[in-house]
Chains A and B, each alone.
Chain A
Amino acid sequence: MDLTTPRKLETPYQADALDLRLLAAIQDGLPIAPHPYADIAARIGISEQAVLERLAALQHAGIIKRFGVVVRHHELGIAANAMVVWDVADTQVDQLGPCLANFEFVTLCYRRPRRLPQWRYNLYCMIHGKSRDEVLAHLTHMIQSCGLEDLPHEVLFSKRRFKQRGAAYFPAPVLAEP
């Protein structure tokens, strides 16, 4: 037994091959039909009850972080979005992240590695709004609320959307791996 690795109190749920097939079967969306889970169950050869139990377990484990209607902001009049990137001291970034992530107009907030010398930024957030001006007003509010006045940052508004869909999960090759 490896005593150098701290033990976690709970055993994390491990998605198995059937979970991956299930996620692959719903990656283009649940059928909009009276019994969608039964339809999915028939497609992958398990019971409807097993589909429901697995989806609940995947959510409980945090592997599915959200299950429901996925909207397209742009089509709903939330036409502007900007990826705002920040250069935060490595010792502060994990404390600051939750503040940026907590606004209702923020949909993503991640720490990512710098790529010096070309790219100094290590904290990213996505800000949405009806217009550029609204996004910039949200940004001003964020800067004031989180005390970001002195942090170097850049605002990368989106222009053209070339592709947008849910991630694909490539179930077959995963099944082939140990």
Chain B
Amino acid sequence: MNNIDQRLLNDYQHGFPLSAAPYADIAHELGITEDEVLTRLQALKASGAISRIGAVVRPNTIGVSTLAAIQAPTEELERIAAIVSAFPEVNHNYEREHAINLWFVITARNALHRAQVLTNIAAQTGYAVHSFPLERDFHIDLGFELKWT
């Protein structure tokens, strides 16, 4: 990965320009053309290195979220994970190394909607769903410092 791509990935994780032509602003800072910025960002998005350019919303300011988990038998895990992932309210869904092995995040309109989603996931999977809603956020999100060696 070249130095320009590294700076595009690392330096604009927060404070992305709010201006009519933000990619031209970035181009100016990096000493390249706007076209090159656009081409490189499109390639980084196509390769999966960039998920999106956009907003990370503080939990529970718009809608309500929760971290939820299911203890799934190994042979059932893929089937259950597919059911969980199919819910539009689920945005992250991971297998983790623990007896409680499927962990996912639900974001819903309000507490009632969240409760309905939890109930529906339990009903469709046939397994109990644990819910661990956020009580306090200690982390100030400035993105993740990428280090290339």
Interfacial residues, chain A to chain B (CB-CB below 8 A): 15, 20, 23, 26-30, 32-38, 48, 52, 55-56, 58, 62-73, 75-76, 78, 83, 94, 97-98, 100-101, 104, 106-113, 115, 118-119, 124, 128, 154-170, 173-174, 177
Contacts and interface: CB of A to CB of B under 8 A. Distances in A.
Contacts of B62: 15, 20, 23, 63, 169
A97 B136 contact: yes
Interface residues of B, number: 76
Contacts, number: 244
A75 B112 CA distance: 36
Contacts of A83: 96, 103
B54 A67 contact: yes
A128 B20 CA distance: 35
Contact of B138 (A35, A98, A166): A98
Interface string B53-75: 11111100111010100000000
A73 to B, nearest CB: 7
Given A101-B139, A109-B139, A115-B130, 19 more contacts: A29-B52, A30-B54, A48-B20, A68-B16, A69-B16, A70-B50, A71-B144, A72-B49, A72-B50, A78-B146, A104-B144, A106-B139, A109-B137, A110-B136, A118-B130, A158-B96, A158-B97, A163-B85, A173-B109
Nearest to A52: B18
